[in-house]
Amino acid sequence: MSVFSEIAILEIGINLPIFKNLANENVADGVVTKKIKL
């Protein structure tokens, strides 16, 4: 987990502006997907 987290943090740091936009979209999609699956 720690190695994966470190890699994720590095990727987030490099792509921060893009990641913010993707994160918002992914959170919205994730909520919808969870509701559909449930």
Q: Residue 36's pLDDT band (boundaries 50, 70, 90)?
A: low
Number of domains comprising the chain: 1
Domain limits for position 31: 1-37
Amino acid found at 24: N
Q: Residue 27, Cα to own-chain centre: how many angstroms?
A: 7
Quote the pLDDT of residue 8: 74
| pLDDT of 1 strictly over 60 | no
Quote the pLDDT of residue 4: 72
Quote the pLDDT of residue 19: 61
Over the stretch 14-33, which tens digit does the pLDDT of each residue have?
666 666 666 677 676 776 66
CA pair distance 24, 8, nearest whole angstrom: 16
